[in-house]
Amino acid sequence: MATIISGKEVSAKVKEEVRAECDRLRQQGVTPGLAVIIVGDDPASRVYVNNKKKACAEVGFVSEEYALPAETPQEELLALVNTLNRRQDIHGILCQLPLPKHLDETAVIHAIDPKKDVDAFHPSNVGKIMIGDYDFLPCTPAGVMELIHAAGIEVSGKSCVVIGRSNIVGKPMAMLLLHENGTVTICHSKTRNLKEICLGADILVAAVGRPKFVKGDMVKEGAVVLDVGINRDENGKLCGDVDYAEVEPKASYITPVPGGVGPMTIAMLMKNTLSAAKMAAGLL
C-alpha cells in the first residue's frame, strides 16, 4: 500500500509560512497585492479565481479581481495589464487561462511585467527556469516538487518520467526534476513504447489531461506517482490522470485527486506573490 502525500496538509503549511512572512512584511509597510484578471464566464476558471481570492484572504494579501466580459477586445485587456504593471501596490498579475478564442494568449502573457508574472509564463521567466536562476517557478510543477520534498523523497539519480509536454506543467516539471539531478524522460502523444518507459520510472508525473490514463500495468513496484490531472470520470466524479485504484497498491507514494497537487498550485501562487512583493521592496 502506498503512502498518500496529502496536498491539503502540505499546502496548509506553505500558506502558514507565507502568512507569517506577510505579517512581518506588513510591519515594514508592505502588503503583497495580487491582481487576477478573468475574461468571460468559464465555470472552471471562476472556481479557480474564487479559490485564489480565498487563499489571498487566508495569508493576508490584498487581492483585486478584474472580471471582464467575454467579448472584451484585445486592446482593452492589454491596457488593463499595462495599468497594473505600473501600480506599485500590485506585486503579482495573473490572467486566468484559457481566454476566449478571439484573444491572443501569448500577447497577454508577454505584456505582463516579468517581475509581476507570478504564474512564471513570461518567456524571460521560462528562460531563467531553464538555466536554474529563477525568481518564480510555475505554480503546479513547483507544488509537485514541494510534495516530493515534504515526503522526503530523493530525486538525485532517480529515473523520472513526465507524461505531458505542456508549457505550463510538463516542460517546467522536467526542468525542475533535472535541476535536482533526476534523469528525466518526457513522454507525449507521439511517444512509442509508453508503457515500457513508464515501467522504468522511479518517479512518475502524470500531466496528460486524460482521466485514469495511467494504469496499474504501467507502474513498477515502489514507484513514486504524482498525479497532476483534474478530470471527470464516466460518472462525473473528480479523478486524476492516474487510475488510483489500480496504481495505489503498487506505488510507494501517491498523490490523491482531489486533495493532492491541486491545493499546492494555489499555495505556490501565494509563495510567488510574496516573493514578488519582497523583490519590489528590495528585500530579496
SS3 content of the chain, % helix, strand, coil (to 5): 45, 15, 40
Which of 15, 52, 158, 250 is catalytic? The answer is 52
Helix orientation angle between 261-280 and 7-27, rounded to the nearest 10 degrees: 20
Which of 96, 135, 243, 271 is catalytic? The answer is 96
End-to-end Cα spacing for the chain = 43
Strand partners, 94: 36
Is 96 a known active-site residue? yes
Which of 15, 117, 119, 227 is catalytic? The answer is 119
Instruction: Please state, in angstroms and rounded to a whole number, the distance separating the CA atoms of residues 189 and 195.
Output: 12
Q: Are 94 and 36 in contact (CB under 8 A)?
A: yes
Is 52 a known active-site residue? yes
Is 74 a known active-site residue? no
Catalytic residues: 52, 96, 119
